[in-house]
Amino acid sequence: MNYGSFFIYSLTLCFSSVLIAQNDHVIKREQMVKTQLQARGIKDPLTLFSMLNVPRHEFVPKNLEEHAYRDGALPIGSGQTISQPYIVAFMTETLKLKSTDRVLEMGTGSGYQGRGTW
């Protein structure tokens, strides 16, 4: 194997592991929406779309990333937590937001709810 082939092989391995990890997060988000949100009565299409597409794992510490889509709050440091997915969806749906609305999230949380969940 020459240097060029080895380089391409290495890049292929690197990108495939990234795609597998991303795919795993997509599957976990789909399960979260189905079992935690829709099963509890969240029906607003925009809320469900947002919860399905916002990468919750990017709002938690790396060592807790595998737990990002579980049914519970997670610590994010400084005594703060990222809220349980159902609570975020419930609060968002309750606001009955339109695509033209703007929301200012107040507090010292992760910013997860404020990032495009309407």
Give the domain CATH number at 23: 3.40.50.150
For residue 15, the enclosing domain spans 3-94
Provide DSSP, 4-33: HHHHHHHHHHHHHHHHHHHHHHHHHHHHHI
The single residue of 5, 17, 50, 83 carrying the catalytic annotation is 83
In a domain, 54, yes or no: yes
User: Over its length of 118 residues, how does the chain's per-residue pLDDT go in tens digits?
Assistant: 555 565 565 555 555 555 455 688 999 999 999 999 999 999 999 899 989 999 999 989 999 999 999 999 999 888 888 889 999 999 989 999 887 888 777 665 555 655 554 4
The domain tally of the chain equals 1
110 is catalytic: no
In a domain, 115, yes or no: no
The CA distance from 62 to 10, in Å, is 24
